[in-house]
Structure 1
């Protein structure tokens, strides 16, 4: 059984030196790492990219060969009737990624609209407590960093009233287990900004950035300036993403040197100056 973390305080946003920013950018590995030394892409260098996927584990060398810097992987199990080979991330798979010089970020999603289990956020405060406990157990079992955030998913377009009445309570349940600083959010731009404004997600060590992983869906071609990750390509049956190791994947831009990757937060991964 894994010991749950002491609840983290809301905490002040941390800042990093230029030296640390460059070190963190190196830790990301892959093309364009220098572009995020200052936290944003430039015209001459693409940002590092992470992929996310669920159907099965993609070999680390295939990810590296395709030019990606790492993965965002699930610290949740499959829903009833589903059998996702990449859920949850395992220690052996995490070690294979780290040995290939790839970074790992944790996210949690069990339910989904129209699936065999409803969207996680609909389960309110008690559901948030239960989900956070599951996420932390799976995160630490795989070697996740003790101070690394876990991004909790809102995989649909919700309005402010639903956020206030339901989703916010779910996040407060998560906070009661992990603390705010270890809590992140995945969703459209409004969800990311509401979560930050209501103080239920933590801050990156990159100045001005929060633990917000924004999807392009429901975002109106806008990008939250505080986000650390941006899901630029969303793979669907009608419009599949690029193939990596034979599997269509989602693709995410890294917007900050510290996007919550394990190796910067006491978990498995390459040393900062190894790559």
Structure 2
């Protein structure tokens, strides 16, 4: 673990080593940032490339690019009953527009949510994991997602170890039975991410030491799991809205590894077919 640095508004300028600058430059190259026009960090101020996530509607690719972001984490799940999210699921035409603009795409699945019209996905156990994985993969591939790319499956609440062991872990085992471990990722707070890695239900990035872990700042205190490939630094809420892109408030995610599961790096099929 390492401590999360202060927010940009309160952080002091820091000197960054040549090694760190090169590391971020490599990450940007892997994310197609040269075509996006994202600035490579200098020794005066290093910042990782960032992806945004959102659900309300599809933000035009050129507006994402103009805002300086390298791509998106987008849903491969449907809208919940009684809701209509324009960005769920990602469509082939929208994905094509993002790719044409030099942006990258990472897939994530979330249908239910605490307090909504559908319960949290993980509460449906092993059988639910099988069904969710099949839905996610069908939507992922229909939109042009890479055959070897992971899908990040969401636990959008603070659960304890008992709930993980008896409810969420069987859900992930169901997902694994369809996609295989290597195509499975997790989204959640730091403890959920650690449990997923320890129990072997998430795959590995090609970046050494990194796993398919998308960690949110929520429920994480000041800790960032060293295995994470993405870190949700800004979680947009009514009381603390995120930045606006294309008129929509978005969540913002730091890219912590050159291989964060983006489609363009995972076009080939890994060993084991989707079942």
Whether contact under 8 Å (1:258, 1:264) holds in the other structure is yes
1:146 corresponds in structure 2 to 147
Shift of 1:237: 1.2
The within-5 A match list for 1:89-168 is 89-168=90-169
Unpaired runs of 5+ residues, structure 2, are: 1-21, 269-275
Q: Which has the higher contact order (CA 8 A, sep 6+)?
A: 1
Structure 1 segments of 4 or more deviating over 2 A?
19-25, 30-35
Aligned 8 A contact 2:70 2:104 in 1: yes
Tell me, in whole angstroms, the C-alpha distance in 2 between the residues paired with 1:195 and 1:140.
Answer: 24
TM-score (norm 2): 0.85
> Unmatched 5+ residue regions in structure 1?
1-18, 36-41, 268-275
Matched residues in 1 for 2:44 and 2:104: separation? Answer: 24
Q: 1:246 to 1:114 in 2, by over 3 A?
A: same
Query: In the TM superposition, what is the alpha-carbon distance from 1:221 to its structure 2 partner?
Result: 1.3
SS across alignment from 2:208: coil
Change (3 A) 1:21 1:147: farther
> Is contact 1:229-1:255 (8 Å) kept?
yes
Query: Residue 217 of structure 1 aligns with which residue?
Result: 218
Q: Distance in 2 between matches of 1:67 and 1:226?
A: 26
| Per-residue CA distance 1:109-158 (angstroms, 9 max, x = gap) | 00000000000000000000000000000000000000000000000000
Question: Tell me, what secondary structure is at the counterpart of 2:127?
Answer: helix
- Are 1:128 and 1:170, in contact at CA under 8 Å, matched by a contact in 2? yes
- Number of equivalences: 243
Q: Distance in 1 between matches of 2:173 and 2:44?
A: 39
8 A contact 2:30–2:259 mirrored in 1: no
2:29 aligns to what?
A: 26
Normalising by structure 1, report the TM-score: 0.85
Q: Is the 8 A contact 1:24 1:264 kept in 2?
A: no
Q: 1:253 to 1:22 in 2, by over 3 A?
A: closer
Cα–Cα, structure 1 residues 197 and 85, in superposed 2: closer, same or farther, change >3 Å?
A: same
